[in-house]
Chain A
């Protein structure tokens, strides 16, 4: 073997490793030397320039039900083997396998080892870790050959220490990452060309795809408002005067919580608006026009609802990354869940 041959580690589930189907899905992690199952085809695609040095196999149920133990097994395997690159799956549309492959990629990234997996774009595993390099595949193993070809091509590149090219060149699913780069022609020319092509009915390709929003199922209604605890949230950057936590005027990644206990309204002496995306003087002069504490207290006192949470949450809804928004929403939602909040009023500026 060439000293410089690429050393690849491969992750497989029990099915593709040939151990068994659902009845063996509880198989704990086990390591074998060299390739197994589709790893043999990976070995063939790598040719003399690379070698599948080790394969980690784990049952899909084991991985998903004992996630901490499985992740530790992956970490131990990668720490011991130190491959140049990790290839996981492909998992096609299999959800548990997809989750496992994504977690393998996440652990590898933690250890500084590049990793590639493959799965169908609707595999729910994708939602667990967006930063993984995922080659889109067919829904089932009929698409094995093209999937492996693309995965190995990308694995060779990343494993060789080269950064991945743009999504459409290197054939992986968008990771929500944008990098600065040079184009041969200025943006104005490209934009006009795009417009002309569009007017002619020709196909165009945007340089700035808008991320699709996730459809969120409506929460069930609050059944008894008079007994409900209500919380208030705003993207309007209402903060204590002086902005003690340095909430940013734009591009904020975090959120903050502040006390409402003992207050009947927000005063300009104690609170201000630091949002940089609109004229914020009215909201600084009377913060209640963004965070309607006075009205909420009136309705609490009159018994329309039982209790207002004694804190509010805020961020700056201005030029935020989609991924940060999703994370903030999750974190705030989890906080409210713990605090047994029944309903939330979100004021979006």
Chain B
């Protein structure tokens, strides 16, 4: 799950949570130039896909460390 509010998502029991940008634009940032906005979005989706391939025991935040 990509969520702007990971603590809520994890409290509710979501097991793989990626920190999104903002509630109004979870997957991107319209304030950025289109290219950078697209890059943000792509990074978040990649992180979500990476989360799907990762075994977890319970609610886990994927903060990007695994991509570095």
User: Which A residues lie at the B interface, using CB under 8 A?
Assistant: 213-216, 218-223, 225, 228, 230, 236, 278-280, 282-283, 285-286, 288-292, 294-296, 298-299, 304-305, 343-349
- How long is the Cα–Cα vector from A103 to B32 in the complex, in angstroms? 56
Q: Which residues of B contact A289 (CB under 8 A)?
A: 21, 24-30, 37, 41
Q: Which residues of B contact A343 (CB under 8 A)?
A: 49, 52
Seed contacts A289-B37, A346-B14, A348-B14; 16 additional CB < 8 Å A-B pairs: A214-B13, A218-B15, A221-B56, A225-B49, A225-B53, A278-B23, A289-B30, A290-B27, A292-B27, A292-B41, A292-B45, A295-B38, A299-B42, A299-B45, A347-B1, A348-B1
User: Which B residues lie at the A interface, using CB under 8 A?
Assistant: 1-5, 9, 11-16, 20-21, 23-30, 37-38, 41-42, 44-46, 48-49, 52-58
Q: Which residues of A contact B53 (CB under 8 A)?
A: 221-223, 225
CB-nearest residue of chain A to B60: A218
Q: B49 contacts A283, CB within 8 Å?
A: no
Q: Give chain B nearest CB distance to A235 CB in angstroms.
A: 9
- How long is the Cα–Cα vector from A332 to B56 in the complex, in angstroms? 22
- How long is the Cα–Cα vector from A344 to B30 in the complex, in angstroms? 25
Q: Give chain B nearest CB distance to A220 CB in angstroms.
A: 7
Q: Which residues of B contact A283 (CB under 8 A)?
A: 24-25
Would you give 19 A-B contacts (Cβ < 8 Å), ordered by A? A213-B11, A216-B13, A218-B15, A222-B53, A236-B26, A282-B25, A285-B30, A288-B28, A289-B41, A290-B27, A291-B27, A292-B27, A292-B28, A292-B42, A345-B1, A345-B45, A346-B2, A348-B2, A348-B14
What are the 5 tightest A-B residue pairs by CB atom distance, in nearest-first order? A289-B28, A289-B25, A218-B15, A292-B27, A343-B52
- How long is the Cα–Cα vector from A26 to B57 in the complex, in angstroms? 39
Contact of A348 among B16, B26, B58 (CB under 8 A): B26
Count A-B contacts at CB 8 Å. 115
Q: Give chain A nearest CB distance to B38 CB in angstroms.
A: 6
Q: B13 contacts A215, CB within 8 Å?
A: yes
Q: Which residues of B contact A213 (CB under 8 A)?
A: 11-13
Q: Which residues of A contact B3 (CB under 8 A)?
A: 347-348
Q: Which residues of A contact B21 (CB under 8 A)?
A: 289
Q: A296 contacts B45, CB within 8 Å?
A: yes
Q: B28 contacts A349, CB within 8 Å?
A: no
Q: B24 contacts A292, CB within 8 Å?
A: no
Q: A221 contacts B44, CB within 8 Å?
A: no
CB-nearest residue of chain B to A214: B13
Interface centre among B16, B24, B58 (most CB of A within 10 A): B24
Q: Give chain A nearest CB distance to B59 CB in angstroms.
A: 8
Q: Give chain B nearest CB distance to A347 CB in angstroms.
A: 5
Contact of A295 among B25, B41, B54, B57 (CB under 8 A): B41
- Known contacts A294-B38, A345-B48; is-contact A286 B28 (Cβ 8 Å): yes
- Known contacts A279-B24, A282-B25, A294-B41; is-contact A299 B13 (Cβ 8 Å): no
- How long is the Cα–Cα vector from A213 to B14 in the complex, in angstroms? 10
Q: A221 contacts B26, CB within 8 Å?
A: no
Q: B15 contacts A216, CB within 8 Å?
A: yes
Q: Which residues of B contact A344 (CB under 8 A)?
A: 52
- Known contacts A292-B41, A294-B38, A299-B49; is-contact A347 B55 (Cβ 8 Å): no
Q: Which residues of A contact B42 (CB under 8 A)?
A: 292, 295, 298-299
Q: Which residues of A contact B58 (CB under 8 A)?
A: 218
Interface centre among B12, B42, B44, B56 (most CB of A within 10 A): B42
- How long is the Cα–Cα vector from A99 to B12 in the complex, in angstroms? 26
Q: Which residues of A contact B5 (CB under 8 A)?
A: 348
Q: A349 contacts B48, CB within 8 Å?
A: no
Q: B57 contacts A347, CB within 8 Å?
A: no
CB-nearest residue of chain B to A344: B52
